[in-house]
Structure 1
Amino acid sequence: MSDPSKLQTRSGDTGAGAGATPPYVLLFDGDCVFCNGTVRFIARRDPKRRFRFASLQSSAGRRLLAQCGVPEETDSVVLIEDGRGYIRSEAALRAALRLRGAWPLLYVFQAVPLRWRDAAYDAFAARRYRWFGRQTEACALPSPEVRSRLLPEEDE
């Protein structure tokens, strides 16, 4: 694969159920406070409800990772768009491109070489638990808005 940020899924199915495949599925680290906050941030800036969400640790998330060829132990954000998976900085920039407000302007960073963008992403990701913490069992449930957009758990 020439560009590791682009990972083609095998089936193109994002697991939304029969008929309606959501245009964008964001897989996130469900243990990360920052990542959970980012999901809420995206949901508020996505009035057309094009994004659906699943944690990397969920059964739906693990299945989608396998379809994209992303190792199950990944802790990077993964954006599945039109049957193709994007990881790390590419996923973050492509997600920002689809948000309401000035956030699509961040896509200008696409001009920065992928190696540099991913190095910055990795540096932040390596410190996110220290800076923001981990989710605990006592954390509040997601808002009804986010909860309605989570992909359902699958029977294993």
Structure 2
Amino acid sequence: MTPRRRPVLVFDGDCGFCSSSVRFMRRRIPTSAEAVPYQSADLAALGTSVEQASYEVVWVARDGRTHGGALGVAKMLVDAGGVWRPLGLIAQVPPFRWLAHGLYRLIAANRGRLPGGTPACALPKDALPKDALPNDSQAKDAQPKDAQAKDAQAKDAQAKDAQLRNGGP
């Protein structure tokens, strides 16, 4: 892992909701991180992949460690300090970590329906845990980008959800 001068927040630049969220972060949350869309980032140098970055936001710490999804957001809040720091710290401790993860997955599964979202924001159905889809209507809107990415995302999602249910990192 290569040490960095500042952390990096990798997000989906094609998603209107994600881009709106990053604009909010830049205006209101004083993080030291550089926010970059995964579509223009050197993901290998950042220690992540297209599969992970298209599935969830990725926090790349100064020491090179990566944290995705709700944990990535929590790390960003801790980095911001001030009133944001306690929120980020709480979001990393069970049972709040489990709640944060569930809320993050719910938002990610429905990001195309949220303000600023577009149909391009929808995650592939197979990349989501079965309990993240509220109904079958989203399945009609979400199409996988390619077969390999779809399989990798589904495996990653299932592993992460199982790990969080079992109290893992």
RMSD across aligned C-alpha pairs, in angstroms?
2.8
Q: Is contact 1:43-1:51 (8 Å) kept?
A: no
Instruction: Quote the residue 1:32 is aligned against.
Output: 15
Q: Normalized against structure 1, the TM-score is what?
A: 0.60
Q: Which has the higher contact order (CA 8 A, sep 6+)?
A: 1
One of 81, 86, 92 as aligned partner of 2:73:
92
Name the structure where helix makes up a greater proportion of residues: 2
CA distance in 1, matches of 2:24, 2:92: 21
> Once the 2 structures are TM-superposed, how far is the Cα of residue 109 of structure 1 from its aligned partner?
2.3
Instruction: Quote the residue 2:44 is aligned against.
Output: 63
Instruction: Quote the residue 2:85 is aligned against.
Output: 104
The residue identity in structure 2 corresponding to 1:134 is T
Tell me: CA distance 1:22–1:112, structure 2 relative to 1, closer, same or farther (3 Å). Answer: same
Name the structure where strand makes up a greater proportion of residues: 1
The residue identity in structure 2 corresponding to 1:80 is V
CA distance in 2, matches of 1:134, 1:24: 28
Q: Percent identity?
A: 30
CA distance in 2, matches of 1:135, 1:98: 32
Instruction: Quote the residue 1:51 is aligned against.
Output: 33
Unaligned ranges ≥5, structure 2: 121-169
Secondary structure at 2:67 match in 1: strand
Tell me: CA distance 1:52–1:73, structure 2 relative to 1, closer, same or farther (3 Å). Answer: closer
Q: Is contact 1:42-1:99 (8 Å) kept?
A: no
